[in-house]
Amino acid sequence: MKLGKLALTVSATAVVLSSLLTAPPALAQVKEQFFPVLVYRTGAYAANGSQWANGYVDYLKLVNARGGINGVKISFEECETAYATDRGVECYERLKGKNGGATVFQPLSTGVTFALTEKAPADKIPLITAGYGRSESQNGAVFTWNFPLLGTYWVGAEVAIQHIAKKEGGVAKLKGKKIALVYHDSPYGKEPIPVLQELGKTYGFEVQLLPVAHPGVEQKATWLQIRQQKPDYVLLWGWGVMNSTALREAQATGYPRDKMMGIWWAGAEPDVKDVAEGAKGYSALTLQHGAEPNSKVVKDMLDLVYAKGQGTGPKNEVGQVLYMRGLLSAMLGVEGVRKAQERYGKGKVMSGEQVRWGLENLNLDQKTLDGMGFAGVMRPVQTSCLDHMGSSWVRVHTWNGSKWEFSSDWYQADEKVLRPMVMLASGKYAEEKKLKPRTPDECKL
Amino acid sequence: MLYRENGQFKTSYAADQQIFPIAQDRWAILGLLVVAFIGVPLLVDEYLFRAILIPFLILSLAALGVNILVGFCGQITLGAGAFMAVGAYAAYNFHIRIAGLPLLFSLLMGGVTAAVVGIFFGIPSLRVRGLYLAVATLAAQFFTDWVFLRVPWFTDNASSGSVSVSNLQIMGWQIDTPVNKYLFCLAFLTVFALLAKNMTRCAVGRQWMAIRDMDVAAEVIGIRPLFAKLSAFAVSSFFVGTAGALWGFIHLASWEPAAFSVDRSFQLLFMVIIGGLGTIMGSFFGAAFIVILPIALNQFLPAFGGLFGIRISTAGVSHAELIVFGGLIIFFLIKEPHGIARLWSTGKEKLRLWPFPH
């Protein structure tokens, strides 16, 4: 029983120590803007999740290296969610009150976003979901605290069809075509379905839905169906290992890769590099940016952060697609704080509520973006009370066997199609939750 | 010295048969309840409520249900997550489709629906047992995963397949703050634990245990396996289903089928194995072990590394968490195969002799 006693003592001291040790840092720093970082560096989606996380954290470091947000330094803490909703919620609860309160949450998981959407309004912390999350949360009158900046899955689906129509030579040519959607069977993968179905009705193409169960390594049956039914195009709405598996299966089935198009979460280096030549011709949407190793912000990053040995991830991944995504996401959060400071006092620490105002009145024009080193990486973003998305610019890039290359011009989502759907869905949400959408007057506050 | 029943004479059958025949136990439990209902809400902060106490209470309730089936009736199940899902989605549908239905009723109907589904998936237990039954119940898991992902009716045609509830209240009492949520779950758990304890002490509980110990012998002495096994499935699924409804409504507020995946089933099974099969107490210990330990480790390890000036990366912490957690499970199973509850009762035995151990 001696060993048993030892174990008990050790675990008891562990519990006591942990409560003692975790408490003090909360009091230590006050004059810092705290960014909680929800990441997944383990689990089935680690390969993609860690690149995003590295970009996110590195940008925060870069801001500090450049002197903070008008002098206010950033502090941050990571919390591992492993892409699981309950762990994500736990992380949110853990970090939301730390170091003077969380500035903004970016969960990088549609499932966690759904759960936090219910909690954020009570805690008054904004939620940025750049390129994911609930599509209808674009309507800021209802979703006061959600910011699906830069694009939603509905934008993605709409642009994907635009691109296909362009390739075919006009929307009229879409009639009678078969477009298959191979999607991750979760809220993430299901988001584009309503838009595809709506457009299918309008243009007369047939949508085939082919779900793939988490984590997506089992796709034989899906690709057998594709081989039998021979859809004209395959849209891939996958994440993590599901993407490379899909490309391998496509190779095995002989489905032409140039007829396959992924969402921006299925268009990064980890998805294709193991398939390399096999993925040649595969294209994916981009959330404005692609791989940007030559952009100025990446050069700054290497000079100011990596040269000093403070980089979070491997140096050769700096500037890759998902790294840039994380970097942009962090930038949007930081710019929200900067904007809020313009109104509530420069050089002060902003509360979640103030940052929400900043994000809602974000106006990054091309000059500002170029000045920050984002020339060629992204286009202007301007948000408003009714539009929490800010912009819907999308490009397409194609894998040439060794790197991603842009293969299309800029697209913009068709507001005429999406706006009514956003209003309808957000209206339904407001009704369910008995929320009163904000009026234009309330928006000005 | 302190914990001794000398001098406590029982003068009636009722006194002899009560749940806690020793006065010290009664006082301790009463004290615990007072602390839980009054002390904790005054002392504890929001993080502890939301991230630890509420999940602990709800999963304890689910573990109680699993323990009834696995620990008391000996029917191994891997479908607990499925019954949680059934409970959550059934409660959701009652809640949104019938306007004005009291919340309590919706939650309990979630449990009742889960009980019906549980009876259905319990039917194979009349023919197969042991590991084969575990595999049969696994079917329930995959079936419900499929149903709630594929049949849009159950999720009220939500385009993303994720459902959410809000504005929960019982007779004007808003269940929105962490304290209220905690009290609500605690009240549920208290009533259900009492129910479970009494059920295992009465005729039906004895039937379950007879079936568990040797089903042929039980049949010979006149116990109907059909009734005993299916009633265990029903009661267990009712508990688990109610826990599922609470998990969805109170803890997550917005959920998708992944919240009740096969991982959840394994987690619940581990809880009862580690906590102690066939004990009510064990369900609580197991839930505490599985809910609290990973989170505690996750927070403790970076701080521990910091003591020696080592910065452990986020990924390193999660990996270490899994290693330590797995190691502890194995350690406990080797040192105490009957679970933590056995340690507890051994402790009580020793306390009786204290301070004169022999």
The answer to whether A186 contacts chain B (CB < 8 Å) is yes
pLDDT at A9 over 80: no
Residue type, B237: S
Place of tokens 């990441």: A39
pLDDT confidence of residue B358: 63
Which is nearest to B80 in space by CA: B68, B92, B94? B68
Torsion over CA of A413, A155, A220 and A250, rounded to 10 degrees?
30
B257/B201 Cα distance (integer angstroms): 35
The minimum CA-CA distance between A294 and chain B, rounded to whole Å, is 29
**pTM of this structure:** 0.87
The verdict on a CB contact (< 8 Å) between A190 and B160 is yes
Minimal C-alpha gap between A208 and chain B (Å): 14
Over the Cα atoms of chain A, what is R_g? 22
Give me the pLDDT at residue B304, please: 83
Per-residue pLDDT, B1: 63
B265: nearest Cα among B72, B58, B64, B84? B84
Tens digit of each residue's pLDDT (9 = 90 or more) over A372-387: 888 888 899 999 888 8
Q: Quote the minimal CA–CA distance from A191 to chain B in Å.
A: 5
Show residues of chain B in contact with A53, CB under 8 Å. 314
Identify whether residues A37 and A140 lie together within a single domain. Answer: yes
Handedness of CA A91, A96, A99, A102 (dihedral sign): positive
Chain A neighbors of B307, CB-CB under 8 A: 21
Span A38-83, pLDDT tens digits: 998 888 888 889 899 999 999 999 999 988 899 899 999 988 888 8
pLDDT at A8: 52
Is pLDDT at A5 greater than 60 in this prediction?
no
> Is A146 a member of any domain?
yes
Q: What is the pLDDT at residue A18? A: 46
Neighbours of B214 (CB within 10 A): 11
pLDDT digits (tens, 9 = 90+) for A289-315: 888 888 999 999 999 999 988 888 888
Average pLDDT over residues A239-256: 90
User: Is A392 strand, coil or helix?
Assistant: coil
What H or E segment, with its residue span, contains residue B255?
strand B254-255
Cβ of B256 within 8 Å of Cβ of A186? The answer is: yes
Q: Which of B46, B159, B300 sits opposite A194 (nearest CB)?
A: B159
For residues A158 and A268, membership in a common domain is answered with yes
Domain-located, residue B42:
yes
Count of other CB atoms within 10 angstroms of residue A208: 17
How many domains in chain A? 2
**Nearest 5°: phi and psi at A28?**
-60, -55
**Are A280 and A309 within one domain?**
no
What tokens were used for A22?
């975790």
Per the DSSP assignment, residues forming a β-bridge with A232 are none
- Shared domain for A200 and A334, answered yes or no, is no
Q: Do the Cβ atoms of A186 and B256 come closer than 8 Å? A: yes
Mean pLDDT, range A16-24, rounded to an integer: 45
Are A45 and A144 part of one and the same domain? yes
| Ordered mean pLDDT values, 10 residues apiece, chain B (358 residues) | 78 87 88 92 87 93 94 91 95 90 92 95 88 90 89 84 83 86 94 94 94 93 93 95 94 86 90 90 92 86 81 83 86 86 87 76
Same domain, A106 and A165: no
Using alpha carbons, select from B159, B167, B178 the residue that is nearest to residue A114. Answer: B159
Residue length of chain A: 445
Q: Which domain holds residue A323?
A: 30-151+292-383
Residue A390 covered by a domain: no
Q: Do A7 and B55 touch (CB under 8 A)?
A: no
User: Does the residue A434 lie in any domain?
Assistant: no
Residue B160 forms contact with A (CB below 8 Å): yes
Please list every residue in chain A whose beta carbon sits closer than 8 Å to the beta carbon of residue B55: 86, 90
Contact B315 A80 (CB under 8 A): yes
Q: Does B81 touch chain A (CB under 8 A)?
A: no
- A93 and B256 within 8 Å at the Cβ level: the answer is no
| Nearest CA-CA distance, residue B54 and chain A, Å | 11
Cβ within 8 Å, pair A115-B255: yes
Closest partner CB to B162 (pick from A4, A39, A114): A114
A chain contacts of residue B300, beta-carbon cutoff 8 Å: 14-15, 17-18, 21-22
DSSP A351-376: PHHHHHHHHHT-EE-HHHHHHTT-TT
- Residues in B closer than 8 angstroms to A94, CB to CB, are 47, 51, 299
pLDDT in tens, A134-153: 888 888 889 989 999 998 99
Which DSSP category does A345 fall into? -
Residue A12, in any domain of the structure: no
> CA-CA distance, A356 to A126, in Å (whole number)?
6
CB pair distance less than 8 Å for B55 and A39: no
Domain assignment present for residue A235? The answer is: yes
Q: Is A229 on the interface with B (CB under 8 A)?
A: no
Determine, yes or no, domain membership for B275. no
Residues A271 and A316 in one domain: no
Which of the residues B314, B336, B346 would you substitute to probe the A interface, choosing the one with the greatest number of A C-beta atoms within 10 Å? Answer: B314
What per-residue confidence (pLDDT) applies to B176? 83
Of residues A59 and A99, which shows the higher confidence score? A59
Nearest to B205 by CA among B121, B282, B277, B278: B278
Find, in chain A, the residue whose alpha carbon is nearest to that of B252.
A115
Per the domain annotation, does A190 fall within a domain? yes
Q: Are residues A220 and A170 in the same domain?
A: yes
Write down the pLDDT at residue A16.
47
Interface of A with B in 310-329 (CB under 8 A): none
Q: Among residues B157, B134, B152, which one has the least CA distance to residue B82?
A: B134
Please name the residue of chain A whose CA is at the shortest distance from the CA of residue B142.
Answer: A213
Virtual CA dihedral for B327, B331, B337, B342, nearest 10 degrees? -110
- Please give the residue range of the domain that contains residue B147: 22-258
Residues A430, A423: Cα–Cα separation, whole Å = 10
Give me the total of CB pairs closer than 8 Å, taking one residue from chain A and one from chain B.
126
Q: How confident is the model at residue A22, as a pLDDT?
A: 45
Would you call B303 an interface residue with chain A, using a CB distance cutoff of 8 Å? yes
HSE (side-chain half, CA atoms, 13 Å) at B325: 23
pLDDT for the residue numbered B3: 78
Instruction: Decide if B5 is inside a domain.
Output: no
Q: What is the pLDDT of residues A315-354, one digit of tens each?
A: 888 889 999 999 999 999 999 999 999 999 888 899 989 9
Query: For residue B176, which residues of chain A lie inside 8 Å, CB to CB?
Result: 122
Residue A13 has pLDDT above 70, yes or no: no
What CATH number corresponds to the domain at position A168?
Answer: 3.40.50.2300
**Any chain A CB within 8 A of the CB of B253?**
yes
Q: How confident is the model at residue A85 (pLDDT cuts 50, 70, 90)?
A: confident
**Is residue A4 predicted with pLDDT exceeding 60?**
no
In a domain, A360, yes or no: yes
- Rounded to 5 degrees, what angle do the CA atoms B168, B171, B174 make? 40
Q: Most B CBs within 10 Å: which of A42, A76, A119, A134, as the mutation test of the B interface?
A: A42
Give domain status of residue B79, yes or no.
yes
Domain count, chain B: 1
Q: Determine, for residues B256 and A214 on separate chains, whether the beta-carbon distance falls below 8 Å.
A: no
A269: tokens are 């280096």
**A187 with B160: Cβ contact below 8 A:** yes
In sequence order, what are the beta bridge partners of A180? A208, A234
Q: Same structural domain for residues A272 and A159?
A: yes
pLDDT (tens digit, 9 = 90+) per residue, A386-430? 889 988 899 999 998 888 889 888 999 888 888 999 999 888 888
Unique residue bearing structure tokens 């990446």? A298
Do the strands A74-80 and A178-184 form a parallel or antiparallel pair, or are they unpaired? unpaired
Q: Which residue of B has its CA nearest to A183?
A: B160
Whether B162 contacts chain A with CB within 8 A: yes
Over residues A113-138, the mean pLDDT reads 89
User: What is the DSSP-derived secondary structure letter of residue A175?
Assistant: T
